Structure 1
Amino acid sequence: MAMGRPYDLIVFGASGFTGQFVVEEVARVASEADLLRPLTWAVAGRNRAKLEEVLERASSALGNPELKSKVYIIICDVNDQLSLAAMCQQGFVILNCVGPYRFFGEPVVKACVENGTHCVDISGEPQFLEGMQLKYDSQAAEKGVYVIGSCGFDSIPADMGVLYTRNQLKGTLTSVESFLLIQTGPEGATFHDGTWQSAIHGLSDQDNLRKLRRQLGYKPLPIIGAKLRRRGSVFYSNTMNQYAIPFMGSDASVVKRTQRYLHENLQESPVQYGAYAAIGGIGSVILLMVAGFFFWCLTKCRLGRKLLIKYPEFFSSGFFTKQGPTKKQMAGTSFSMTFFGEGYQEGQDPQQGGPSVKICTQVKGPEPGYVATPVAMVQAAVTILWEHKSLPNRGGVYSPGAAFSKTTLTERLNKHGIEFSVISKPEA
């Protein structure tokens, strides 16, 4: 890794909807008194005026009038490889906020790898994440570069939550199911339509994802202990006291990549995982099934996808908008992710008999998309910066759990509002 670069962190896409909140979070962390040394950082994007506006808003929000004059602006375009290279050569870690990543992510990964710069993103798109692993893992290893995707709400709570659950159990954790619950205030909750677009393209391109996984040559992970049963498309959860559905995000695929890495490279026992979302009562089930059916149908043709992208608010019943959530909506929204794990006591053979111990843990935090995601992304970047020796021995393209399993990322998140806790575990 080249030394002597002027900036520890560079926020690329800082003027985007999510990028502006990442800028605020970097500024907040840079002002903390317990840093090992002062944190140097810059913002990057296509439009200087918009970047200046973002710094002005962050300065106002944080009550730091000097912020705008102290943070350097880098003009960079994702379609200009020379400008990307110039940006990468100035930073130690790039925080890439330019999505959808399936369209705009690879040029950034390529520039980072070629110029010896670490990279984190907040992609929840399995095809992009696994495609980058296939294409750039070996080259990143040669360069000593860490490319770590899905470092936002997708999928740090799930991935690090499974590892946290494993570490809290005295014995062998063999399976975990997680249930996501989004709590909203009187203003409700909305998300920016960038997430909506990623979902549309991802659902319409499932065949190519399967082809990609065949190219990666994944071998089935061994099943340790009792096999985790597959849930239906809609089911009633007695533990959550409401109906639930399989979570449609990238959590399951990211956790599986982590478990594969830990098993194949560190000889750790793999954990089976199921990701679900709690949705409420029977009325929510009916509404979701009808909406989901029409959404799925529309993603299967070009005209349908165009309509979905053009009118996100209409087709999502106001859940996704081009404006994104208001400050009141974000302030009133939070999430919890509850993990129910099963395993075997120390000294017990997991291949003999059923699970003998259970554990319940939880990760909870503020609004997931634009409060928790910037916190997770910035702490991931800071962990690369301060705990470089605790990362995997070789560079490469990693999931969060694979990269950060030996670091203090969980403790860092706890200090910044994303809390990991044990709800119940077997008595000693």
Structure 2
Amino acid sequence: MATGRPFEMVVFGASGFTGQYVVQEVARVAAEEEEARGSLRWAVAGRSREKLQAVLEKAAAKLGKTELKSEVSIILCDVSDPSSLANMAKQTAIVLNCVGPYRFFGEPVVKACVENGTSCIDISGEPQFLEGMYLNYNDKAAEKGAYIVGSCGFDSIPADMGVLYTKNSLKGTLTAVESFLTVKSGPEGGSIHEGTWKSIVYGLADQENLKKVRRQIGHKSIPVIGAKLQRRGAVFFCNELQQYSIPFMGADVSVVKRTQRYLHTQEEETPVQYAAYATIGGIGNVIKLMFAGLLFLMLVKFNFGRKLLVKYPEFFSGGYITKEGPTEKQMEGSSFEMTFFGQGYSTGKDPQQGKPDVKICTRVKGPEAGYVATPIAMVQAGVALLKDKSSLPKTGGVYSPGALFSKTKLIDRLNKHGIEFSVISKPEV
């Protein structure tokens, strides 16, 4: 990783909706470093000096640190200007890229970082982009010593690191995990910014290109070890949580699969089968979701339908997606829990023989997922890159979070910053 540069981290897209919260989180971590007699050299980057200055002023007011306005450098940079991206990349060890949707704006940043030996972290939940970057830049990143790691936000740090935590907590061999996401809102309700909505719309519309990318990569299938994990239905009742549930539509399954492939092929570890679901509550929510889901899936298949979804997000989401995003009160009242049910084989038992004989339940929980937990996860991933260098893979490349951070202290760092990993029930025979 690049050293001897003016900055250790640069937040690119700092004036965007998510970027502003990433700036606040970096400022908090930098303050922690100062208290521990350390330092974190960082800057913000984007197109408008005025907007970037306003973000720093907002962070200064919120954190009570007026010096932010004068101490944090501003780098003017535009995703459509390769020379400005190169200039940014040359000045830092790590770029925290908050400019999405990544399928439209992500690759120029990755390219600039790779060419200049700079590591890059993003919060993309778009498998086509994530796996496309592996196809196009993994070898060059390895040559340059740059670590490129996507999906370091809510998609998919809780899921990917949660599976690894479950694996490390089981005395035996973990072979399969199901996760169930529950999102909780306070009295003010909740909402999602339209930028996140756009990523979802275009991501689901691009399945054919994702298949094409995977064919070009040409990975062999991951072997199934132990009893095969049975997939649930489109809507089902989860007895363990006493709620109706549906398959989770985000990037978690594809990201976890990439991690398990890496750990199996590079570290010779037993691969873990994985399925992801989200709870939706009672039967009334099931009926609402069926109508909304059918309309969404019908529209997302066609160009005119995608334009309608993007142009009128509030209408098609029943007011849940807004151009303003969630309010501070909504974020304060929201939280998430991800429960993991794992099964495997006790120590000394051959996973290829017989049925699983041990189970475990773990949980990852944290604050509002999109704009509180995501900045925490992204910034702590950056800290792990900076501070846990001896525990990273020896060569650069394009990695999933679990592949890159499996041997680092990332989970410990997250636990200390409000994203908590815990064992709910001990393994039982």
Describe the superposition over 1:189-216 as per-residue Cα deviations: whole angstroms up to 9, x where unpaired. Answer: 1010111111111111111111111111
Task: Output the CA distance in 2 between the equivalents of 1:319 and 1:255.
Answer: 28
Asked if residue 121 in structure 1 is aligned to residue 94 in structure 2, the reply is no
Cα distance, 1:351 vs structure 2: 1.0
Whether contact under 8 Å (2:360, 2:428) holds in the other structure is no
Asked if residue 76 in structure 1 is aligned to residue 69 in structure 2, the reply is no
Aligned to 1:40: 41
Asked if residue 228 in structure 1 is aligned to residue 229 in structure 2, the reply is yes
Task: Output the CA distance in 2 between the equivalents of 1:230 and 1:385.
Answer: 39
Aligned to 1:207: 208
Aligned to 1:166: 167
Task: Output the CA distance in 1 between the equivalents of 2:377 and 2:19.
Answer: 13
Asked if residue 392 in structure 1 is aligned to residue 393 in structure 2, the reply is yes
Whether contact under 8 Å (2:13, 2:45) holds in the other structure is yes
Describe the superposition over 1:32-84 as per-residue Cα deviations: whole angstroms up to 9, x where unpaired. Answer: 05657210100000000000000000000001111111000000000000000
Describe the superposition over 1:237-281 as per-residue Cα deviations: whole angstroms up to 9, x where unpaired. Answer: 001101000000000000000000000000000000000000001
Cα distance, 1:2 vs structure 2: 3.7
Cα distance, 1:248–1:35 mapped onto 2, change above 3 Å: farther
Please list, as runs of the form range in 1=range in 2, the aligned pairs for 1:235-314 lying within 5 A after superposition: 235-314=236-315
Aligned to 1:100: 101
Asked if residue 178 in structure 1 is aligned to residue 187 in structure 2, the reply is no
Aligned to 2:326: 325
3-state SS, counterpart of residue 151 of structure 1: coil
Please list, as runs of the form range in 1=range in 2, the aligned pairs for 1:8-157 lying within 5 A after superposition: 8-33=8-33, 35=36, 37-157=38-158
Task: Output the CA distance in 2 between the equivalents of 1:204 and 1:239.
Answer: 33
Cα distance, 1:427 vs structure 2: 5.5
3-state SS, counterpart of residue 175 of structure 2: strand
Size of the alignment, in residue pairs?
Answer: 428
Specify every segment of 5 or more residues in structure 2 that has no aligned partner in the other structure, as ranges.
none
Task: Output the CA distance in 2 between the equivalents of 1:370 and 1:361.
Answer: 24
Specify every segment of 5 or more residues in structure 1 that has no aligned partner in the other structure, as ranges.
none
3-state SS, counterpart of residue 412 of structure 2: helix
Amino acid at match of 2:21: F
TM-score (normalizing by structure 1): 0.99
Task: Output the CA distance in 2 between the equivalents of 1:426 and 1:168.
Answer: 9
Task: Output the CA distance in 2 between the equivalents of 1:408 and 1:35.
Answer: 18
Amino acid at match of 1:316: S
Amino acid at match of 1:255: V
Cα distance, 1:297 vs structure 2: 1.0
TM-score (normalizing by structure 2): 0.99
3-state SS, counterpart of residue 427 of structure 2: coil
Task: Output the CA distance in 2 between the equivalents of 1:175 and 1:265.
Answer: 20
Describe the superposition over 1:319-361 as per-residue Cα deviations: whole angstroms up to 9, x where unpaired. Answer: 1111000000000000000000000000001111100000000
Amino acid at match of 1:24: Q
Amino acid at match of 1:161: G
Amino acid at match of 2:81: D
Amino acid at match of 2:154: F
3-state SS, counterpart of residue 32 of structure 2: coil
Q: CA RMSD for the aligned pairs?
A: 1.0
Q: After TM superposition, where is structure 1 displaced by more than 2 Å over at least 4 residues in a row?
A: 33-37
Task: Output the CA distance in 1 between the equivalents of 2:204 and 2:4.
Answer: 43
